[in-house]
Each structure stands twice: as structure tokens, then as C-alpha cells.
């Protein structure tokens, strides 16, 4: 069964097609041939704006996990010879603190449906009962529906290379920032899981190389947004900064 023919998915896909094509028409007088690409950027910004509350909850969860890190280390030292008890105590601690080790995955999971819709917009010849006009759009000669390994020629391939480079640079910087903010636990059952999560930004680079150019553009914009948003929210939601401001107030 074609995933995109499933009733609810087909409705969302058709709505997304309507939105992107109308954005393209609206932006054409300003962006010309790049209107469809700019429409993808605008769509990404709309999605990421809607997901700001998710980002806020994630950063708050990060600070909670940072605060309970010493407690986790104590549990690991106390029950390192009893993995079952350690796992149970760790789960109980997260529950008591209303935190989750999986909070870092929320933005990626929330965006997965959006990415799948954008992927469908640029691989399907028809959407609903009409031809897919989005397939006729490109960025400097690189078709939005074409992937890097599907016959892109020079210099069109340079567009893909630049976007992948942007994703890679942002991914490396994000991983470094994440590691400085919340280093991996020294040991314990969460170490392996945390290590895998720390590499997720770089996995995006590999994925972006195999999807249509439109999806790669979406990933470039959304990863850059994530890095900037995370930096801003960490600064604004820093409990230490709030405590320092409160202590500076006159008695």
C-alpha cells in the first residue's frame, strides 16, 4: 500500500501541496525561479514556530536532568553491581523529578511527519487528482525533486553540496554545545543511550544526502533553527541566571 494514498495522509498531503503552491505563487514576484525553494523555507519557519513550546519543554527537561545528574551518579555507584535495581531506581528518580531521558528526541519525532509530507510533495508525479507542478521547480538548475545520487550534474550538484555542508557544520557545532551543556554520564545503563543521542545531529547529514533536494533544504533550515533556538532558550531559561537576578534585587 502506498503510504501517501492512506486517507488522512492524503488529505494532509493535498493541504500541504495547496499551501506550498500558493506560497510559491505569492513569492514569485519577489523570488522568481527560487519561489518554490523560498516557500519550503517559509513552511519550515511556520512549522518550527509552532514547535517552540516543544523546544521550551525540552530545554527545561535538560536543566532538570542536569540538576539530577549527581543523584544519578550516586545511584550508579551504589547499585553498579545490580543492574536491575539500578534501572528501577533510575526510572523512579526520573519519575519523581518529572523528567525523561527521551526528551531530547521530541523535536525530531515531532518533525518526522512534516518531513515525510515534504518528501511526498517532491517525489509523487500526482497529488490527489492533479499533476504535481512542484516537480518543475529547481534551485539554480537542481530540481527540488531530485536527490544527490540520482544523476545531478555539475554545477547543479553544488547546491546539494552547500546544503549538506551547512547541515554538517551546524550538526558539529550542535553536538559540541550539547556535550558542553550536558556531558555523557561516566557509566551506567544510560551511557550507551546518551552516546547514541549525542550523534543524532550528524546522522541527519547522512539522511539528507539521500532525500529530494526540497527535503534537504528543509533539513538545512530546521537544523540551523534548532541550534539557534536551543542557544537562546538555554540562556533565557537558565535557572542560575534567574536566581542571580533575584538575588540582585534590593531587600
Question: Which residue, chain included where needed, has cell 523555507?
Answer: 41
Residue 27 has pLDDT above 60, yes or no: yes
Q: Cα 173 to the chain's mean position, in Å?
A: 14
Question: Which residue, chain included where needed, has cell 535495581?
Answer: 85
- Local structure of 217: helix, strand or coil: helix
When pLDDT is cut at 50, 70 and 90, the band that residue 102 belongs to is low
Give the pLDDT of residue 249: 40
Give the pLDDT of residue 251: 43
The 10s digit of each residue's pLDDT in 160-193 is: 999 999 999 999 998 888 877 765 554 555 555 5
Give the pLDDT of residue 152: 67
The 10s digit of each residue's pLDDT in 31-82 is: 998 999 999 999 999 988 988 988 888 888 788 878 887 888 888 888 888 8
CA atoms of 122 and 138, how far apart (whole Å)? 11
Q: Who contacts 94 (Cβ-Cβ below 8 Å, separation ≥6)? A: 68, 100, 101
Give the pTM: 0.80
CA atoms of 115 and 127, how far apart (whole Å)? 16
Under a CB-based contact definition with an 8 Å cutoff, are residues 47 and 114 in contact?
A: yes
- Domain boundaries of the chain, sorted by first residue: 3-241
Give the pLDDT of residue 57: 83
Question: Which residue, chain included where needed, has cell 532558550?
Answer: 233
When pLDDT is cut at 50, 70 and 90, the band that residue 248 belongs to is very low
- Local structure of 199: helix, strand or coil: coil
CA atoms of 138 and 157, how far apart (whole Å)? 12
> To the nearest whole number, what is the mean pLDDT of the chain?
82
Count other C-beta atoms under 10 Å from residue 201's C-beta.
23
Amino acid at each position: 500500500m502506498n503510504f501517501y494514498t492512506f486517507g488522512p495522509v492524503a488529505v494532509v498531503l493535498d493541504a500541504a501541496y495547496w499551501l506550498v503552491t500558493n506560497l510559491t505563487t505569492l513569492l514569485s514576484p519577489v523570488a522568481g525561479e527560487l519561489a518554490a525553494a523560498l516557500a519550503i523555507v517559509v513552511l519550515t519557519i511556520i512549522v518550527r514556530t509552532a514547535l517552540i513550546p516543544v523546544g521550551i519543554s525540552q530545554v527545561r527537561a535538560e536543566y532538570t536532568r542536569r540538576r539530577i545528574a549527581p543523584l544519578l551518579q550516586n545511584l550508579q555507584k551504589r547499585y553498579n553491581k545490580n543492574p536491575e535495581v539500578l534501572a528501577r531506581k533510575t526510572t523512579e528518580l526520573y519519575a519523581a523529578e518529572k523528567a525523561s531521558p527521551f526528551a531530547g528526541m521530541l523535536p525530531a519525532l515531532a518533525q518526522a511527519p512534516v518531513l515525510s509530507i515534504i518528501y511526498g510533495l517532491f517525489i509523487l508525479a500526482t497529488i490527489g487528482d492533479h499533476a504535481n507542478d512542484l516537480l518543475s521547480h529547481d534551485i539554480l538548475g537542481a530540481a527540488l525533486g531530485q536527490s544527490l545520487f540520482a544523476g545531478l550534474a555539475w554545477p547543479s550538484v553544488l547546491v546539494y553540496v552547500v546544503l549538506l555542508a551547512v547541515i554538517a557544520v551546524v550538526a558539529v557545532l550542535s553536538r559540541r554545545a550539547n556535550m558542553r551543556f550536558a556531558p555523557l554520564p561516566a557509566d551506567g545503563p544510560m551511557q550507551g543511550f546518551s552516546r547514541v543521542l549525542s550523534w543524532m545531529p550528524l546522522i541527519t547529514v547522512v539522511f539528507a544526502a539521500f532525500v529530494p533536494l526540497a527535503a534537504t533544504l528543509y533539513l538545512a533550515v530546521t537544523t540551523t533553527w534548532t541550534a539557534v533556538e536551543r542557544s537562546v532558550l538555554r540562556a533565557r531559561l537558565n535557572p542560575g541566571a534567574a536566581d542571580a537576578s533575584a538575588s540582585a534585587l534590593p531587600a
